[in-house]
Amino acid sequence: MVWGHYPQFILPAPEIVLERAISATSDGSLLSQAWVTLTEILLGLLAGTSLAFISGYLVAKVNYLEHWLLPILVSLQAIPVLALAPLLVIWFGWGLSSKIIICASTLFFPVFINTILGLRSVDKNLVALMRSLNASFWQKLIFLELPSSLPVFFASLKIGVILSVVGAVVGEFVSANEGLGFLINLAGGLYDTPLRFVAFTTLSLISILLYSLVNTLEKVIIRWQ
């Protein structure tokens, strides 16, 4: 079928894409590949966010760490993830581990930087008050530092969930035999352009879903904001 003077393998009509989406969903192939990618995204998001928060907290609290750690992270951030991904696959294997690491490294930096900014924006008067009350480390963390830094942290997490989707797909482009990135490569080799559009749409829906979940979680946790 030709749409807009272009054949189907170049630019398929919307109804062709819809028909391909229905067929891929009915035979289970789309859902199974989407589940693989979603698993990589969630695990990468958990690993990257946790590591970024812990690292950001240490840098915010120990000033000399910033002078030697931050230049290293900035220089690593300057390397495109698409160029770094093949090395990560060689180092950590072709399985799930390399995909999680690629995904986590993609979102690490914005969450790391915003964690530092959020912790350093805590009201100094409140810090002095907690110190005068002999508050413990955990009391200061739970009742002051975390609530004060959460708005900035959630702002970075909204960026991180989108980057995590990009990281997972890049990892699948480099080495995978399953997942939506693999499906896009497979569809390209078969000139099945409608299937590629179906995979693109599924990735977009996953991004919207994750962003909405983070946005809802933000409203629930920091209702006072």
Sequence-ordered list of residues with C-beta below 8 angstroms from that of 204, at least 6 positions apart, any chain: none
> Which tens digit of pLDDT belongs to each residue from 17-68?
788 888 888 888 888 888 999 999 999 999 999 999 888 888 888 877 777 8
Whether the pLDDT of residue 124 is over 60: the answer is: yes
3-state SS, residue 212: helix
Predicted local distance difference test score (pLDDT) of residue 208: 93
> Which tens digit of pLDDT belongs to each residue from 138-167?
888 788 878 878 888 888 888 889 988 988
3-state SS, residue 148: helix
> Which tens digit of pLDDT belongs to each residue from 175-198?
778 888 888 888 777 777 888 888
Domains of the chain: 16-220 (1.10.3720.10)
Q: Percent of the chain, pLDDT > 70?
A: 94
Give phi and psi for 12, each to the nearest 5: -75, 150
Q: Which class for 205: exposed (0-12), middle (13-18), buried (19 or more C-beta within 10 A)?
A: exposed
Whether the pLDDT of residue 5 is over 70: the answer is: no
User: Could you tell me the pTM of the whole model?
Assistant: 0.84
Predicted local distance difference test score (pLDDT) of residue 225: 61
Q: Are 51 and 108 in contact (CB under 8 A)?
A: yes
Q: Which residue has the higher pLDDT, 101 or 139?
A: 101
Sequence-ordered list of residues with C-beta below 8 angstroms from that of 170, at least 6 positions apart, any chain: 81, 82, 85, 102, 106, 181
